[in-house]
Structure 1
Amino acid sequence: MAASPDRPSVLLPVLAVVAGIAAFSVMDAAMKAASLALGVGTALLLRNVMGTLLTVPLWVAAGRPVPTRRIALLHLQRSVVTAVMAALFFHGLVRIPMAEGMAISFFAPIVALYFAALLLGETIRPRAVVAALLGLAGMVVIGADRFGAGAYGPEAVEGTAAIVLSAVFYALNLVLQRKQALLAGPVEIALFQNLNVALLFLAFAPLYWTAPDATSLAWTLMGACLATIALLFLSWGYARAEAQVLVPVEYTGFLWAALMGWLVFGEALGPAVVAGAALIVLGCWIGTRKR
């Protein structure tokens, strides 16, 4: 009798995280379409400006939390990492299929183990080495399939390299997120991250600005709304269940990415991408499990 009340308490956070990952995956598709039309810089600038406008009412409703100087510096540090990460990810995503890009990006949690050792003083255990080798094997499988089919031209090589580098910055972002979550609430983090990233892209806007049309604005607005919805779902879910329960749910993003790539861009999903993704996910599971 005591077990039944616990089931909904675990199920609802899991469903919330599934919904959040789905929203992020659809957002990736919307931002890929916007980036193809406007360029990555303009699309990300507009998305973060819209995201800032969407989160201001949430910030006001939360009591207008203002960070101290120390926390504001941490917000800025993570925003710089996030800006580079997003620019690299979407630069790569416009050059390779979504499912392939998502599979490669799964390498980030493995890299995060090493950043945690470097920045937080955590010990690198043998399983972290095994995880890294499996992750590298997964990326080799994905790349070898394209090379063997003669489908890896200069654009695809550039796209793959960009997403691998993006995964490194995402790993650093995960470590900074751990520190940030201890010092600030999700609404404050969302507002100042959107605002800081928008200002960073605005500083370089003269180098890449492209005037948007109605269609590209619609894609960008969809991306901003979905990113905000995803943040709310994920924040709610992670506040109510252990990370070790919810982290495996992150890998449902591969299924959503494959579906959106097929529906929106007509991208086919090959068996080598599935096999490579499975190796990377296995490496993440080995590297991040407690025992």
Structure 2
Amino acid sequence: MIETTPSPAKGIALKLAAVVGFVVMQAMIKAVAPHVPPGEAVFFRSAFGIVPILVWLAVTHELSGGLRVQSPLGHVWRGVIGTTAMGLGFAALAFLPLPEATAIGYATPILVVVFAALFLGEQVRIVRISAVVMGLAGVLIVLWPQFGAGAGGTEALGAGLALAGAACAALAQIQIRRLVGSERTSAIVFWFSFTATALSLLTIPFGWVMPSPTEAALLIGAGLLGGVAQILMTSAYRFADASVVAPFDYASMLFALVIGYAVFSEIPSASTLAGSAIVIAAGVLIIWREHQLGLERRKQRKAMTPPG
């Protein structure tokens, strides 16, 4: 039996563990990025990420449910967009410091609000509009040195790849919102990893390489760690509401700063720190507003429920 008793402390601990796992995974990918193509990195991340996911599904007795789908094309579409986002993000790591790539990735929840209004018809009021504007301004502050005068071509390329990856990740989140209405979370997690593994094989003609033993170990470790982090993140929402654990996504900047400095000798610029602070504030504001809207919807449903 899976424990489902609410425990905010446990949910937060699981979310922080997941965040650490994802940042370390990114650092592993960044370490091999100068030699290993992003498509090959996506293969290792996805293929070896399936292993802990299958173990998790078996232990939680959700293996059959995790393999059963109601909307195969929906999973394929989510896989294509998500795999593209992953590949772009991995490619960006070859050109950007880890903190900057992390900061640009914070554009994802901001863009989710925009895309939800465009593609799902969600109503966006003044609070979330203000948060979106503030968040995009923060992203521009982070991006400005890469595209401004004196910037090198590799930095601009890396920033463009990271921003495109964030946009694709936001579109993937929109597709997930569509899938959750008919699909189990376990199915969404498993079939994304499977689809990403299959799609990554299409990049073989574009120049896969034979990784060294060290690179192979890092790639396999990134895959396994990514799968474990995915399980930890999913499990965190079993114990606490999304509004409680979601803000801890932004702890990734702290870990990225520490790992970037300790492993890659990267020192973030003032614009990266300032822009990140603005984007984080905007993201927290969106999370708070989503929580308020959720409370309002629950009150409305309760008021509409006829007395028994």
TM over 0.5: yes
Out of 11, 15, 18, the position equivalent to 1:17 is 15
In the TM superposition, what whole-angstrom CA distance separates every residue of 1:16-48 from its partner, at most 9, and x where no partner exists?
Answer: 101111101111101111222312111111221
Q: How does 1:51-130 map to 2 (within 5 A)?
A: 51-61=49-59, 62-65=62-65, 66-68=67-69, 70-130=70-130
The alpha-carbon distance between structure 1 residues 146 and 159, as it changes in their structure 2 partners (threshold 3 A), is closer
Distance 1:118 1:146, change over 3 A: closer
* 1:3 corresponds to: none
**1:41–1:208 Cα contact (<8 Å) kept:** no
Return the letter of the residue paired with 1:265: F
Among the aligned pairs, what percent are the same residue?
26
Deviation string for 1:73-112 (max 9, x for gaps)? 2221111111110111111121011101111111111110
Q: Is the 8 A contact 1:130 1:287 kept in 2?
A: no
The number of equivalent residue pairs is: 283
Instruction: Measure the CA separation in 2 of the matches of 1:49 and 1:171.
Output: 23
Measure, in 1, the Cα distance between the counterparts of 2:56 and 2:142.
Answer: 41
Residue 282 of structure 2 is aligned to residue 283 of structure 1: yes
Shift in CA distance, 21/181, structure 1 to aligned 2, threshold 3 Å: farther
Q: Detail structure 1 runs of 4+ shifted over 6 Å in the superposition.
A: none
> Who is 2:267 aligned against?
268
CA distance in 2, matches of 1:131, 1:165: 20
TM-score normalised per structure 2: 0.85
Check the 8 A contact 1:17/1:233 in 2, yes or no.
yes
Amino acid at match of 1:224: G
- Runs of at least 5 residues in structure 2 that lack an aligned partner in the other structure: 1-5, 293-308
Structural mapping, 1:126-165, within 5 Å: 126-145=126-145, 150=150, 152-165=151-164
Contact 1:110 1:128 in 2 (8 A): no
Contact 2:18 2:230 survives alignment (8 Å): yes
TM-score (norm 1): 0.89
Counterpart Cα distance in 2 of 1:245 and 1:58: 24
1:199 match: 198
* Counterpart residue number, 1:175: 174
Structure 1 gap ranges (5+): 1-7
Partner of 2:299: none
Task: Give the conservation status (yes or no) of the 8 Å contact 1:79–1:196.
Answer: yes
CA distance in 2, matches of 1:149, 1:18: 38
Partner deviation per Cα, 1:189-242 (whole Å, 9 max, x = no partner): 332111111111112312221112211111111111111111111111112211
CA contact (8 A) 2:33 2:93 kept: no
SS in 1 for 2:267: coil
